[in-house]
Chains A and B, each alone.
Chain A
Amino acid sequence: MANFTDRLKEIFKALSPAKVGEYIQESQIYRSVFRVGVPDSDRKRMLVMLGSVFLHLHPVKVRKSGIRMRYTWCMGGITFFLFLSLTFTGLLLMFYYRPTLEYAYVDIRDLREQVPLGIMREIHRWGAHAMVIAVWLHMYRVFMTGSYKPPREFNWNVGVILLVLTLLLSFTGYLLPWDQLAIWAITVGSNMARATPFAGHEGPGSALMKLGDIAFVNNQSDARFALLGGRFVGEAALLRFYVLHCVGLPLVAGFLMAIHFWRIRRDGGISGPL
């Protein structure tokens, strides 16, 4: 009996959290994943930044003034994090949603009523609103610190395109629930395209776009028609917006973000007085 309790004590000792941690960290599996181990020395802290694909977006060392919340407001980072959250929740939403007139609305309704713990749509919608605000504030910060000045002119321009893409992502997503709010907001928004100079059938100069009797720009061939795939917001528009929202725009935005981040480093890191 005494023997048995001794054995138990020994096992418990071996199972103390510190020991277990040590055991895990020395196991071949752990070491194969995290090459450097716990970054407890400066050398390892540097190696960890170089070794991880997620962390290598950052340089190994940064200027202290550049990473202050007071300086960056963390807004670029927040925008990026919101983009990642939106990608993740958007993926989950795609499991449930079919972009057709028959199903779009009921799928969203069922998502609300049938799916347990269903706050994915909420996170996606509020996250999207927040991302628009965050990207505005990020631009605001970059302007106020004069960080668009040389050598960062190009990155500012990449940023402006990202800003436009963020708005377009939000705009295309707005249609997908296919409720009154959605189609009328998109109708109001896309009606503008009707007035495009030369290319919209109610735009100035469109009357000039003709050859003899054949008018090139009418309500079946103008900019709005190209945007919506029809003369009004219907099934073709829903499919177009869905494809752009879920595939086209995120791909382009992701690509440009990679350039944006790369350029931050190439341009000498976060700006600061020199």
Chain B
Amino acid sequence: MFIKEIINAITAPYFLITAAAILLLVSLKYPDRFYTSKSGGIVFACMFAFLGISMLDPNFRLIVTKPDNVPIVGMLFLVPFFTWFALREAVRNDQRIAEGKPLVEQEETADKVLTWPDLVYTELICMVVLTVVLIGWSMALQAPLEEPANPSSSPNPSKAPWYFLGLQEMLVYFDPWLAGVVFPGLIIVGLMAIPYIDTNPKGNGYFTLRERRWEITTFLFGFLILWILLVILGTFLRGPNWNFFGPYEFWDIHKLEALVNVNLSEYIWVKGLPWLGYNGGLPQNAFLREIFGFIVVLGYFLLIPPFLAKKWFKGFYPTLGPVRFHVMTFLLLAMAALPIKMVLRWLFNLKYIIGIPEYFFNI
């Protein structure tokens, strides 16, 4: 069917990720148009309709109703819901600030209430509802148990547990030492660094967007696009051999994707320099061969921060001081490396910026 073909095509990673990123940034630019009760209602109605109608498709149903994928379908609704909810609250508060009225939260901060009954009863109701949901869910859906473990026959695709699929998806763009070790490490370090880097005293204890636009945009980009979206992509849209499959596509083991990725060194030594009359091909020495890659990577991490300090982040530098500033820019650059590498891959089939497989040192 025609519509299915279109949806299969536009869920391709390059399109999906780009579109989601643009949508997020635009919606944060014009929050009072995007995060209203009405727009929320429309979006969620569309999402439910999409899910309901798509369930008629056998390939879609197969992947969505896999027992372990059911919670991720739930997450597919919960994360956008809470995004919308938090930003709608933020929009309301921002309007109140503009009008000089007290914040939603402020109206009740002075009120102290007794924990029993106000809080204890809310908690009790939460627990009862959650217990009912868990028991109902458990009776409706049996936990999966596949064939006994067999170390000599690996299933295709072999997927990590679902919450690590964002990392597995990164493996498309980076080698394991980065995608599986360095980036997870930096995510943890980066999260821990947030309270020490963010010196903006505003927006502590209430929802707001206008007072924290820059922090919220960065965090949402990382959390929603580079984490949640990649988990969803890895779960629903990656099939055998980690090939991309649209939501209505059959997971064909024999689907072939042409892999013609090229290293930066080849681009330069083999395709670029001949224009200048050099025809020696790739140099023998690995470090000489990769010299341009080293320049790019070192330049990225060493030259951009001072440039930012002088130009775009001129306002930040004095308030943050050198240590905070450089930690922050390093973390931001590391985070931006993923979308940058993605775009380079999509546009130029770039494989490695630095490629020294002899030492497993590929970037």
Contact = CB atoms under 8 A, between A and B. Distances in A.
Interface in B32-58: none
A126 B137 contact: yes
Interface residues of A, number: 101
A271 B151 contact: no
A109 interface: yes
- Overall SS of chain A's interface: helix
Given A125-B143, A194-B176, A271-B204, A140 B360 contact: no
A197 to B, nearest CB: 6
Interface in B123-145: 123, 126-127, 130-131, 134-135, 137-139, 141-145
Interface string A130-142: 1011001101110
Contacts of A81: 126-127, 130
Contacts of A184: 154-155, 158-159
Interface residues on B, range: 35 or more
Interface in A98-152: 105, 108-109, 112, 119, 121-127, 129-130, 132-133, 136-137, 139-141, 143-150, 152
Given A77-B126, A273-B206, A132 B195 contact: no
Contacts of A177: 145
B148 A62 contact: no
A152 B103 CA distance: 21
> Most chain-A Cβ atoms within 10 A of its Cβ — which of B116, B137, B168?
B116
A133 B81 CA distance: 13
Interface string B178-195: 011110000010011011
A180 B135 contact: no
Interface stretch (A8-16, A23-31, A42-50, A244-252): A42-50
A264 interface: no
A49 B154 CA distance: 55
Nearest to B103: A273
Given A123-B135, A204-B360, A180 B207 contact: no
B161 A105 contact: no
A196 interface: yes
B360 A203 contact: yes
A21 interface: no
A63 B142 contact: no
Interface stretch (B106-114, B271-279, B284-292, B305-313): B106-114
Nearest to B202: A146
Nearest to B212: A146
B336 interface: no
Contact of B71 (A42, A105, A130, A272): A130
A180 B144 CA distance: 11
Contact of A140 (B106, B175, B223): B223
Contacts of A74: 122-123, 126
A179 to B, nearest CB: 4
Interface in A162-190: 163-164, 167, 170-171, 174, 177-185, 187-189
B16 interface: no
Given A119-B139, A189-B164, 7 more contacts: A39-B117, A55-B116, A77-B126, A121-B143, A122-B143, A156-B192, A272-B106
Interface of A: 39, 42, 45-46, 48-49, 55, 58-71, 73-74, 77-78, 81-82, 85, 105, 108-109, 112, 119, 121-127, 129-130, 132-133, 136-137, 139-141, 143-150, 152-153, 156-157, 160, 163-164, 167, 170-171, 174, 177-185, 187-189, 191-197, 200, 202-207, 232-234, 271-274
- The 7 closest A-B CB pairs, nearest first, are A192-B180, A122-B138, A153-B195, A195-B176, A271-B205, A129-B71, A195-B177
